[in-house]
Amino acid sequence: MKQKTVVIGLGNELFGDDAVGLLAVRRSAQIAPGQADYVETGLHGVALLDLLIGYEKAIIVDAVKTGRHPAGTILDIETGRLNPIDNPSPHFTGIPELIRLARELNVCFPKEILIVGMEVVNTEDMGTEMTGEVVAALDQLTERILSHVP
Contacting positions for other proteins (CB under 8 A): 10-15, 18, 41-47, 49-50, 53, 62-66, 77, 82-98, 100-101, 104-107, 115, 117, 120, 123-127
CB of 108 to other proteins, least distance (A): 12
CB of 116 to other proteins, least distance (A): 12
With beta carbons less than 8 A apart as the criterion, state whether 49 and 97 touch. no
CB neighbours of 69 closer than 8 A, spacing ≥ 6? 75, 119
Identify which of residues 84 and 150 has a Cβ nearer to other proteins in the complex: 84
CB of 36 to other proteins, least distance (A): 19
Q: How far apart are CA 53 and CA 90, in angstroms?
A: 17
Identify which of residues 26 and 44 has a Cβ nearer to other proteins in the complex: 44
Identify which of residues 26 and 150 has a Cβ nearer to other proteins in the complex: 26
Q: How far is CA 100 from CA 20, 69, 109, 118, in A?
A: 28, 30, 11, 25
* End-to-end alpha carbon distance in the chain: 16
CB of 8 to other proteins, least distance (A): 11
With beta carbons less than 8 A apart as the criterion, state whether 75 and 137 touch. no
Identify which of residues 128 and 150 has a Cβ nearer to other proteins in the complex: 128
